[in-house]
Amino acid sequence: MDADLKALEKKLTNLVSLCSDLRNENAQLRLDLTASKSDALALQANMAEAGERIVALMETLP
């Protein structure tokens, strides 16, 4: 019985540790996602600006 309780305690400790690790990883992934979204918006703005410049250059061509 004592061995069963120790085994259960070890499993619970591992589970709590795993949950903590996953929570930390999830928080980091959320930060990474936010940064990626910000980068994507900046790239979209750059693409739009580049498109406007190309159109402006094409209008100056004979």
In the structure, how many helices (H) and strands (E) does the chain have? Answer: 1, 0
**Considering the chain, what is the average pLDDT of its residues?**
97
Six-digit token string for 54? 């190309």
Q: Quick one: DSSP state of residue 1?
A: -
d(CA 41, CA 43): 5
Query: Which residue's structure tokens are 């591992």?
Result: 14
Instruction: With cut-offs at 50, 70 and 90, classify the pLDDT of residue 62.
Output: confident
Q: Give the per-residue pLDDT at 1.
A: 86
Q: Give the per-residue pLDDT at 31.
A: 98
* 26-41 per-position pLDDT tens digit: 999 999 999 999 999 9
The Cα-based distances of 47 to 8, 40, 44, 55, 59 in angstroms read: 57, 10, 5, 12, 18
Q: Give the per-residue pLDDT at 6.
A: 95
- pTM equals 0.71
